[in-house]
Amino acid sequence: MPHLHLEYTANLTQLDTDKALLRLNHALVASGQFGAEFDIKSRALKVESFRVGTGLNERGFVAVRLALLSGRSSQIKQQLSESLLAVVQDLGPWPEGVQVQLSVELLDIDRDSYSKVAIG
Amino acid sequence: MPHLHLEYTANLTQLDTDKALLRLNHALVASGQFGAEFDIKSRALKVESFRVGTGLNERGFVAVRLALLSGRSSQIKQQLSESLLAVVQDLGPWPEGVQVQLSVELLDIDRDSYSKVAIG
Amino acid sequence: MPHLHLEYTANLTQLDTDKALLRLNHALVASGQFGAEFDIKSRALKVESFRVGTGLNERGFVAVRLALLSGRSSQIKQQLSESLLAVVQDLGPWPEGVQVQLSVELLDIDRDSYSKVAIG
């Protein structure tokens, strides 16, 4: 833990996912909430098939989900969410004529049933 | 919010994901549970590598997950789930000789730590 | 239910996902926690864009998430998690020079709002 997922719609063609993931990971390290930088596992997924709402104008989104072990306070989680959203906002510019929504959600993962091992 | 994910196995070759997502979004708008149609962010993902159970006959699935902000009643969530399943059931016909499972799950997302911004 | 997701980074080129999913499903059947083998729906997703931490050495991960209906005890969930991790550990060998992290998380899904139907 933590695990971070970044989804982005395929019409956000200028998004640099390598840069995005590195900056997000640096923000998580800087939060001081995680013991080792090595524990932060992040991935980006391009969404080719999507629909925002029911309107006809062009739309897109970047959706970040951070899954972390249960037990942190609501205040800590709000701060983490806001710091990640600030990183995402700074990833622009966004395409002209596309309504883009950026979001960050936090998901608690049950601590007792989380298992892991490191190799090498 | 809400965020909808539709996963479908690659052997369901006739599934029209554009139609599926539009119908699912219309069902969510019609539920009256969401303030603006614009907020509904849906995506479809084809699953190329999958295994249903341990049997040898051909199988597939469509799995919908709706993530929405916490606070709605159990009754409301049941109604949402059933209305989405009805949409998915209506997406057939399904391939001959394939055992297909359709499912809808709802996932509460912590309201306090959800952050978003809209651009453009 | 249950739904299993296996994500693996693209640098783990020797991972046999067909074998992995079949073994994971057999472990779930053997747990005795699920009524029918048919109910177990598993998929593997290769992660092409990823970043582990902030360091420069080569890293990768296999991340398994098992979503199951709420109501099982903490002890049962720990046992499930450990049995799945044992399967994943046995999927090696892993590439030389890559630090690989293997993890299993369990996610409760709200029982009341889960809907499904089987066709064929």
Chains contacting chain A through 3 or more C-beta pairs under 8 A: B, C
The pLDDT assigned to B38 comes to 95
**C114 located within any domain:** no
Chain B residues with CB inside 8 Å of A108's CB? Answer: 110
**A119 located within any domain:** no
Using the predicted structure, report yes or no on whether residue B15 has a pLDDT greater than 90: yes
Q: Tens digits of per-residue pLDDT, C83-101?
A: 999 999 999 999 999 999 9
**A48 located within any domain:** yes
| Shortest alpha-carbon distance between residue C31 and chain B (Å) | 13
Complete edge-to-edge strand list for the sheet that includes strand A99-109: B115-119, A99-109, A59-69, A3-9, A41-47, C49-52
| Shortest alpha-carbon distance between residue A67 and chain B (Å) | 11
User: Cα–Cα distance between C60 and C16 in angstroms, integer?
Assistant: 15
The pLDDT assigned to C120 comes to 78
CATH code (residue A94): 3.30.429.10
Using the predicted structure, report yes or no on whether residue A99 has a pLDDT greater than 90: yes
Give the three-class secondary structure for C22: helix
User: Cα–Cα distance between B93 and C114 in angstroms, integer?
Assistant: 23
The pLDDT assigned to B67 comes to 98
**C54 located within any domain:** yes
Q: Looking at chain B, which residue has its C-alpha nearest residue A82?
A: B115
Q: Among C51, C58, C62, C98, which would you mutate to test the A interface (most chain A Cβ atoms within 10 Å of its Cβ)?
A: C51
| Shortest alpha-carbon distance between residue B85 and chain A (Å) | 18
Q: Tens digits of per-residue pLDDT, B92-107?
A: 999 999 999 999 999 9
Band (B120; pLDDT cuts 50, 70, 90): confident
CB atoms B120 and A100 under 8 Å: yes
The pLDDT assigned to B1 comes to 84
Average pLDDT, rounded, for chain A: 97
Band (B117; pLDDT cuts 50, 70, 90): very high
Domain range enclosing B36: 3-109
User: Cα–Cα distance between A38 and A116 in angstroms, integer?
Assistant: 13
Chains contacting chain C through 3 or more C-beta pairs under 8 A: A, B
CB atoms A102 and B109 under 8 Å: no
Distances (CA, A) of A79 to A32, A44, A82, A84, B83: 11, 22, 5, 9, 35
**C118 located within any domain:** no
ipTM for the complex shown: 0.96
Q: Tens digits of per-residue pLDDT, B45-92?
A: 999 999 999 999 999 999 999 999 999 999 999 999 999 999 999 999
* Nearest CA-CA partner of C37 in C52, C47, C24: C24
More confidently predicted of A35 and C62: C62
The pLDDT assigned to C1 comes to 84
Using the predicted structure, report yes or no on whether residue C70 has a pLDDT greater than 90: yes
Q: Looking at chain A, which residue has its C-alpha nearest residue B112?
A: A78
Chain C residues with CB inside 8 Å of A21's CB? Answer: 49-51
The pLDDT assigned to B86 comes to 98
| Shortest alpha-carbon distance between residue B27 and chain A (Å) | 10
Specify the number of domains making up chain A.
1
Using CB atoms, which residue from C41, C109, C119 is nearest to B52?
C41
**B9 located within any domain:** yes
Question: Which residue type, as a one-letter code, is found at position A66?
Answer: L
Using CB atoms, which residue from A51, A55, A104 is nearest to B115?
A104
The pLDDT assigned to A5 comes to 98
**B112 Cβ partners below 8 Å, 6+ apart?**
A74, A77, A78
Q: Tens digits of per-residue pLDDT, A17-47?
A: 999 999 999 999 999 999 899 999 999 999 9
Using the predicted structure, report yes or no on whether residue A120 has a pLDDT greater than 90: no
Using the predicted structure, report yes or no on whether residue C102 has a pLDDT greater than 90: yes
Give the count of beta carbons closer than 10 Å to the beta carbon of residue A65: 18
CB-based contact A103:A60 (threshold 8 Å):
no
**B90 located within any domain:** yes
**A114 located within any domain:** no
- Would you list which residues of chain C are within 8 Å, Cβ to Cβ, of chain A? 7, 9, 47, 49-55, 59, 61, 63, 74, 77-78, 80-82, 84-85, 89, 92, 94, 97-108
Q: Looking at chain C, which residue has its C-alpha nearest residue A19?
A: C51
